[in-house]
Amino acid sequence: MKLKLTYLGHAAFLVEGSKKIIVDPFITGNPICKTKLSEIKDLDYILITHDHEDHIGDAVKLAKKTKAKVIAIHEVVKTYFNKVRGISDDNLVGMNIGGTYKDGDVSFFMTLAIHSSFVGHPAGFVISMDGKNIYHAGDTAYFSDMKLIGDKFKLDMALLPIGSHYTMDEEDAAMAVKALRPKMTIPMHYNTWPVIEANINKFKKKCGSSKVKVLNINESASV
């Protein structure tokens, strides 16, 4: 079964296969997002890499609306979601870096991310579903242990920030591609605001023969 991944803008993605997953649902206030919050329905999981406003976004509203399971680092779950009316404790999954949460045939491996946060620690996720592995790096600098992620998982997709200033730039992101060895790389977290403008052609050139797929807003890719 193929997985369909749709770019909603910034670091927000919708992953659709046997389950429906949204990652970092920054919809309201996102200057490049064209999706309305009312259009997002029937989610199974909401993944949050860290609690900065441009990543946690509309997660609370979507959790109440869709009854999806929220998966984030332990402190983010405890701080932002516990005791919120309309969100069941059974739908809250706090975990930590290096851990795996399995739910039926779907699993989520939480990876390190080198960044900052208000509570807890920034993270990334490897989503394993329908025989495919998708790595969402979250906001991060390049770190050499990305090679271990590539060794542990045969990645079908890697979603990597390239906008610099708050994350790695085009050159460091290309180093990450070489370490991770995904079948396809999709850049993210760039050109949302002037401070994170990136040169996509520079990134593609630095990646050499590695396949880079640049998605426009609301455009999809399948693996």
Q: What is the pLDDT of residues 74-94, one digit of tens each?
A: 999 999 998 898 999 999 999
- What are the sequence ranges of the domains in the chain? 4-222
Q: What is the pLDDT of residues 107-134, one digit of tens each?
A: 999 999 999 999 999 999 999 999 999 9
- CATH dotted code for 4-222: 3.60.15.10
Q: How would you class 217 by CB atoms within 10 Å of its CB: exposed for 0-12, middle for 13-18, buried for 19 or more?
A: middle
Q: What average pLDDT does the segment 48-52 reach?
A: 98
Amino acid at 139: D
Residues in CB range of 137: below 8 A, 6 or more apart: 111, 113, 124, 158, 159, 160, 161, 176
